[in-house]
């Protein structure tokens, strides 16, 4: 015979397990809705802009933790809110793509109105945080939201092959926000960070688009590889990587060691890009370029912080 006490304990344990699973799934859906990977990567560049502005303004990091908190929290929230609205708006095309078909706005785990409401709320709260730093930082944040939600998601993404270039505006904004939170004057170095992020994005996303070309085609998104083919996409990738070459020279205040590292990273990426004209497996090359772009961005921005203090 079964033990009633054991059965009761098993039921309780099952209940706890179920609750834990539901909580885990809820958090997973939330992170998918706000695209936590995009939030984290953009926070790296926002922090770097903030750090460098503090350093070159002669301000101590630990004496300005309030600015650090408001800047990073505000940046994270407006990015998360923008991504939530992007998921709301793209729920009709996301089912056609492998990497997006599991989003909670597609599988029904999050209702569209919830995604929209959450997005708007996060943007509002995030903007309020940025206003606690400087008006310039908040205005730049608003421009970033507008460029991503309206200019990219609602307008260019489905209509023009230049959608990646338009989308690069919002992706280049975070380091400007970080800098403006400390120094609203936005000197040459701040704009060099913006230029670096702006030029980094086309080769990064073109490589991704090559790998997912059939999915973008099925979704009706006019990405460059879909409209112009792989060969033209390779030309554009190499050109954009080449445009990165002079940018580190505008960051000369970080010292010669950083300049050498940044130049080597740029030359390495350019060499890999040119290799694409010889390799027969375009998808393999696109994967190599995509992985390199991720490592490039991480190493470059972490190096800026390190070389500013050594």
Do 61 and 79 belong to one domain?
Answer: yes
CA distance 9 to 17: 12
250/203 same-domain check: yes
Domain boundary among 186, 220, 245: 186
For residue range 230-244, list pLDDT tens digits in order. Answer: 999 999 999 999 999
* Measured CA distances, 145 to 27, 123, 149, 168 (Å): 24, 8, 6, 12
How large is the average pLDDT for residues 70-86?
Answer: 98
Q: CB within 8 A of 184, min separation 6: which ones?
A: 134, 135, 136, 137
How many structural domains compose the chain?
A: 2
Same domain, 82 and 30: yes
pLDDT at 20: 44
Specify the DSSP element, H or E, that contains 43.
helix 36-56
User: What are 253-291's pLDDT values in tens digits?
Assistant: 999 999 999 999 999 999 999 999 999 999 999 999 999
> In Å, how far from its chain's centre is CA 2?
55
215 and 171, same structural domain? no
Angle between helices 282-307 and 256-275 (to 10 degrees): 180
- Does some domain include residue 194? yes
In a domain, 247, yes or no: yes
Domain membership flag for residue 15? no
Q: Are 127 and 142 in contact (CB under 8 A)?
A: yes
Mean pLDDT of the region 116-139: 98
- CA distances in angstroms from 52 to 40, 171, 239, listed in the order given: 19, 19, 28
What pLDDT, on the 0 to 100 scale, is given for residue 1?
A: 41
Domain range for 198 is: 188-310
> Does the pLDDT of residue 10 top 90, yes or no?
no
Q: How confident is the model at residue 3 (pLDDT cuts 50, 70, 90)?
A: very low
Task: Identify whether residues 78 and 164 lie together within a single domain.
Answer: yes
pLDDT above 70 coverage of the chain, percent: 92
Last residue of a domain, one of 129, 151, 186: 186
Question: In whole angstroms, what is the distance from residue 99 CA to residue 69 CA?
Answer: 32
Q: Are residues 120 and 221 in the same domain?
A: no
Q: How confident is the model at residue 23 (pLDDT cuts 50, 70, 90)?
A: low
Among 5-14, 48-57, 69-78, 208-217, the range scoring the smallest mean pLDDT is: 5-14
Q: Are residues 59 and 199 in the same domain?
A: no
């Amino acid at each position: 015979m079964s033990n009633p006490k054991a059965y009761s304990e098993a039921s309780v344990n099952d209940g706890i397990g179920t609750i834990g699973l539901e909580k885990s799934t809820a958090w997973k859906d939330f992170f998918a809705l706000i695209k936590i990977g995009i939030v984290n990567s953009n926070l790296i560049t926002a922090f770097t802009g903030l750090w460098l502005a503090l350093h070159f303004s002669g301000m101590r990091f630990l004496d300005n933790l309030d600015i650090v908190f408001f800047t990073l929290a505000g940046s994270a929230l407006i990015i998360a809110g923008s991504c939530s609205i992007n998921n709301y708006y793209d729920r009709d095309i996301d089912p056609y793509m492998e990497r997006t078909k599991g989003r909670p706005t597609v599988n029904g785990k999050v209702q569209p109105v919830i995604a929209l409401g959450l997005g708007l709320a996060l943007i509002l709260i995030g903007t309020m945080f940025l206003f606690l730093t400087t008006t310039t930082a908040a205005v730049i944040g608003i421009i970033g939201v507008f460029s991503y939600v309206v200019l990219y998601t609602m307008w260019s993404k489905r209509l023009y092959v230049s959608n990646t270039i338009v989308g690069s505006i919002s992706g280049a904004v975070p380091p400007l926000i970080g800098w403006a939170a400390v120094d609203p004057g936005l000197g040459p170095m701040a704009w060099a960070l913006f230029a670096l992020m702006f030029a980094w994005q086309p080769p990064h996303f073109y490589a991704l688009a090559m790998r997912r070309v059939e999915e973008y085609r099925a979704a009706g998104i006019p990405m460059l590889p879909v409209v112009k083919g792989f060969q033209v996409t390779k030309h554009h990738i190499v050109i954009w990587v080449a445009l990165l070459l002079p940018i580190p020279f505008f960051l000369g205040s970080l010292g010669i060691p950083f300049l050498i590292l940044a130049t080597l990273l740029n030359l390495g990426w350019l060499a890999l890009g040119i290799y694409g004209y010889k390799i027969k497996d375009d998808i393999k090359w696109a994967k190599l370029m995509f992985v390199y772009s991720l490592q490039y961005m991480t190493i470059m921005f972490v190096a800026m912080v390190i070389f500013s203090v050594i």
